[in-house]
Every structure is written in C-alpha cells, then in structure tokens.
Amino acid sequence: MNDKDNNFIQPDENENVSASDSQPDMQLAENAEDTTSTQNTESSEQDKKGIDSNKIMAILAYIFALIPYFFADKNDKIVQFHTIQGINLFIYAFSGAVIAYIISFIIPFLPWLPNLWGLIALVFSIIGIINVCNNETKELPIISKYKIINK
C-alpha cells in the first residue's frame, strides 16, 4: 500500500485530535441537560402521583369514610381534614337513617323519609367531593357546626 491509501483509511492525526476535543465537551453538556430534564420530569411525575393519590384518598373519605382513616398518610393535613369530615358525615347519615326508618315504621304515611335522608347525605358527599377536586378545605354546611369528631 502506498501513503495515499493509508491516509484514506486513517484520518490525519491533527484533525482527529481537534474533533475529539470539542465533541466530548458538547456531549457532556448534552448529557447533563438530558439528566437534568429527566430528573425534573421524574420529580414532577412523582409530585403528580402524590397529589393524585392524596386526592383519591380525600375523595374516598366521602364514599368509604374509614379507608383513608387507616391507610392515608397521617402527615397530610388535607386528607386528614376530609377524612374527619367524611367520618362525621357517615355518623350523621347512619344515625339519621336509623331514626328515619324508626319514624317511617311508626308513622306509616312517611315511607319516603329514609330515602330523603339518604338523598341529603348524598348531596353532602357530593359537596365534599367537589371541595376535594377544587383543592379546598371548606367544611360541610350544617354538619360542621355540630361535629362529633374533632381533630
């Protein structure tokens, strides 16, 4: 082989050194930017998952009051607030339903009274769920004045 063939196969050493010096720096900068953007994306996804799971627990407080009480994060004030609201609502709904059934059994022309009481409890639950979805810690009307459980 002659020198021209060797030059064609192997690039000039001066060109190779200058190209290799600038490329790693650019690659390092690109890798650092990719790592930073990946970390920011992962942390924001974790925050969203945390917010979503807390919101789900707070919504469950108005549907199944005791599930968030036992399984939710005890340090999350919003979930704890809505859990206490949900437990108070459950106590009022259950005790009111028992009283409504007794009254409807004694007074035969009031068979719709337990259904009305259940509808009222459903409306309060929906109000609580709307408060959770809006990230508000408003107390439920009427029920909040006569709390059974305070925390």
Sequential DSSP letters for 13-66? HHHHHHHHHHHHHHHHHHHHHHHHHHHHHHHHHHHHHHHHHHHHHHHHHHHSTH
Dmax (CA) for the chain in angstroms is: 115
pLDDT at res. 46: 45
pTM, two decimals, is 0.64
Asked if residue 37 has pLDDT above 50, the reply is no
- Measured in residues, the chain has a length of 151
How high is the pLDDT of residue 41? Answer: 47
Q: Exposure of 132 by Cβ count < 10 A (0-12 exposed, 13-18 middle, 19+ buried)? A: buried
Half-sphere exposure of 37 (CA within 13 A, CB side): 6
pLDDT of 44: 52
What local confidence, expressed as pLDDT, does residue 103 receive? 93
With a cut of 60, say whether residue 51 has pLDDT above it: yes
